[in-house]
Amino acid sequence: MMTPSAFVTILAQAQTSAGQNAPAGPLGALQPFIMPVLLFVMFYFLLIRPQQRQRREMQNRLNSLQTGDRVVTTAGLHGLVHNIKDRTVVLKVADGVMLEFEKAAIASVVKKDADEAKK
């Protein structure tokens, strides 16, 4: 009669010797590199690519910014574009109140055409 520990030892030795004699197959040498490549591809399509698309869309919105557009800043301030400079935007937030912000501080843009269509 064989003890369970002896059976496990024999089974482990059999698997080890069978694994050494097994044919490598067409992807045998590349097998350690497949998983990292698949992870990188997954990260690219799930994280990197959507962020790039979002950044590109926001840059296009900032480039097409015009006087009269309604904007919301990253701080949550709503205003009307009064003047556009190279790196900054002057917003009218109330009668006679103008604030100057970096273009990067603009979180969303509502075009004046879309605003007029709602009314």
Which CATH number does the domain housing residue 91 bear? 2.30.30.30
pLDDT in tens, 73-112: 999 999 999 999 999 999 999 999 999 999 999 999 987 6
Domain containing 85 equals 30-118
The answer to whether 85 and 95 have CB atoms below 8 angstroms apart is no
Tokens of 30: 């590349």
93, two tokens: 């937030």
> Is 82 part of a structural domain of the chain?
yes
Helix (H) or strand (E) holding 77: none
Q: In what order do the strands lie in the sheet with 97-102?
A: 97-102, 88-94, 78-84, 70-73, 106-110
Residue 92 lies in a domain: yes
Tally of domains in the chain: 1
Q: How many Å separate Cα 72 from the centre of its chain?
A: 22
Is residue 21 in some structural domain?
no
User: How confident is the model over 29-83, as pLDDT tens digits?
Assistant: 777 888 899 999 999 999 999 999 999 998 998 888 999 999 999 999 999 999 9
